[in-house]
């Protein structure tokens, strides 16, 4: 049997296993080992240990558990709840003020956790009941929470960006710097959208009632802002600034961020044995899942290349019209569709390594391409019917929230995200000017 035919069967088997409910990591290993042994024989086992050792000793990947610990600690300590309350009351005089506060908290949490599931679930549990109590439109409330929660996909220190740095061979600093402006543009568009709704249909996003606003004086609110919002912001700024500015390596900055989060929670008197135990357990679970998938992807990628699958990919892209732009659009479409069914980590470590050599050969800027991929994967979290953020919200939403409310709510945000992808494609300097300005390229 031709090796390339086995490569095609391996991919089909992988998707079949996933669709019938086999856990993704086990599906990857099963498909990779089975067809690798058929096509390459026991020589496959001579190659696997070196690939696994390479993953486990990768110094860059050490930043993953540290950043996860930092984000989960801030989440478990319920600092996000306090931030939302303070920002919501500060902006509560305006129609849509609470929704804008959710977007701002989404930015801060995205820049601290980098974990979409944790952010969406946290925002849903603390913000959705409040919005419903204040008579917000169900669709606007759901769309705002889902979209704000996914900002962690693009805002550094996103786990997506850390893994994309490893896959593309680029330094993390340039990727963090390149992602910052597109991420903030996206958040700004979200705010402008809420302000437009407040202007056009204020009854959908009503202001906080006067009686509730009078619970805090203006002075008390600003004091709470300094105590609850400013410290996490300073911590995030210090960690990201040290990486983007080249002062510290990502792993060094991540370790200081983890320690800083621990100190921050301690000073806020929210640190307890239960919080610490829950943080460590969640960090171990997330890190273990990521590393297992990375190891599984090494086996799959090794088998796929051993079966000449990389030549299949080259032939496929050579058939796409439009040169390098046609290739980029084709890849973006594939990633968006795959995002309906697979998690971003499987897409990043199975699909991307098969395609990236094509773009290396074309001389495409890998930093720019990585930002387009990150934005694309972020969009896939919102696309019905299988967007993961939609499932996260539905899983914790009260009964009055219908699935159609969630779908209707995310559609405008999907449009904005696709718009930002288009802007970054047409004007690469949106992503590349900051890395150039600080001397990364």
341 band by pLDDT with thresholds 50, 70 and 90: low
pLDDT tens digits, residue range 169-188?
888 888 888 998 999 999 99
Euclidean distance between CA atoms 338 and 137, whole angstroms: 31
Domain residue ranges in the chain: 46-437
Instruction: Give 219: exposed, middle or buried? Use CB within 10 Å, 0-12, 13-18, 19+.
Output: exposed
pLDDT of residue 420: 94
Percent of the chain predicted with pLDDT > 90: 10
Of 98, 78, 81, 99, give the one whose Cα is nearest residue 90: 98
Q: Residue 39: its pLDDT value, please?
A: 80
| pLDDT over 70, % of the chain | 90
Mean pLDDT in residue range 37-66: 79
Long-range Cβ contact pairs of 336-341 (< 8 A, separation 24 or more): 336/376, 336/379, 336/380, 336/383, 338/380, 339/376, 339/377, 339/379, 339/380, 339/381, 339/383, 339/387, 340/380, 340/383, 340/385, 340/386, 340/387, 341/15, 341/18, 341/19, 341/386
The stretch 330-346 carries a mean pLDDT of 77
Q: What is the pLDDT of residues 107-159, one digit of tens each?
A: 877 766 556 666 677 777 777 877 787 788 888 888 888 888 888 788 887 77
Residue 216 pLDDT > 70? no
pTM of the entire predicted model: 0.81
Neighbour-count burial of 211, counting CB atoms closer than 10 A to its CB (0-12 exposed, 13-18 middle, 19+ buried): exposed
- What sign has the CA pseudo-torsion 116, 117, 120, 125? negative
What is residue 425's predicted lDDT score, i.e. its pLDDT?
Answer: 92
Query: How high is the pLDDT of residue 34?
Result: 87
Average pLDDT across the chain, whole number: 80
């Amino acid at each position: 049997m031709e090796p390339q035919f086995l490569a095609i069967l391996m991919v089909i088997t992988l998707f079949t296993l996933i669709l019938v409910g086999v856990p993704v990591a086990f599906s990857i290993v099963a498909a990779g080992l089975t067809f690798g042994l058929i096509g390459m024989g026991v020589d496959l086992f001579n190659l696997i240990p070196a690939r696994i050792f390479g993953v486990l000793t990768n110094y860059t990947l050490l930043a993953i558990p540290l950043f996860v610990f930092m984000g989960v600690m801030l989440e478990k300590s319920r600092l996000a709840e306090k931030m939302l309350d303070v920002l919501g009351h500060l902006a509560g005089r305006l129609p849509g003020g609470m929704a804008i506060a959710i977007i701002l908290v989404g930015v801060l949490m995205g820049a601290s956790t980098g974990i979409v599931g944790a952010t969406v679930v946290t925002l849903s549990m603390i913000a959705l009941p409040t919005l419903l109590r204040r008579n917000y439109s169900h669709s606007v409330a759901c769309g705002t929470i889902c979209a704000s929660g996914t900002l962690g996909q693009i805002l550094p220190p996103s786990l997506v960006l850390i893994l994309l740095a490893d896959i593309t061979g680029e330094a993390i600093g340039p990727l963090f710097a390149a992602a910052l402006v597109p991420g903030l543009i996206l958040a700004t568009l979200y705010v402008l959208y809420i302000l437009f709704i407040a202007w056009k249909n204020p009854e959908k996003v009503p202001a906080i009632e006067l009686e509730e606003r009078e619970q805090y004086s203006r002075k008390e609110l600003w004091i709470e802002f300094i105590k609850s919002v400013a410290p996490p912001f300073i911590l995030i700024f210090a960690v990201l600034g040290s990486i983007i500015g080249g002062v510290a390596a990502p792993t060094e900055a991540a370790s200081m961020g983890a320690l800083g989060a621990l100190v921050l929670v301690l000073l806020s008197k929210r640190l307890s044995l239960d919080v610490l135990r829950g943080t460590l357990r969640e960090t171990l679970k997330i890190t273990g899942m990521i590393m297992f998938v990375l190891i599984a992807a090494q086996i799959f990628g090794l088998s796929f290349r051993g079966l000449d699958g990389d030549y299949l990919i080259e032939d496929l892209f050579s058939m796409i019209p439009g040169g390098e732009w046609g290739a980029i659009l084709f890849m973006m479409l594939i990633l968006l569709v795959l995002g309906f069914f697979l998690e971003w980590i499987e897409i990043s470590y199975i699909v991307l390594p098969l395609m990236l050599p094509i773009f290396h050969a074309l001389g495409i800027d890998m930093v720019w391409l990585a930002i387009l991929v990150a934005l694309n994967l972020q969009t896939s979290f919102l696309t019905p019917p299988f967007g993961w953020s939609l499932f996260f919200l539905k899983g914790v939403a009260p009964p009055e929230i219908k699935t159609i409310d969630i779908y209707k709510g995310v559609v405008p945000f999907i449009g904005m995200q696709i718009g930002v992808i288009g802007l970054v494609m047409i004007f690469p300097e949106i992503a590349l000017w900051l890395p150039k300005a600080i001397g990364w390229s």
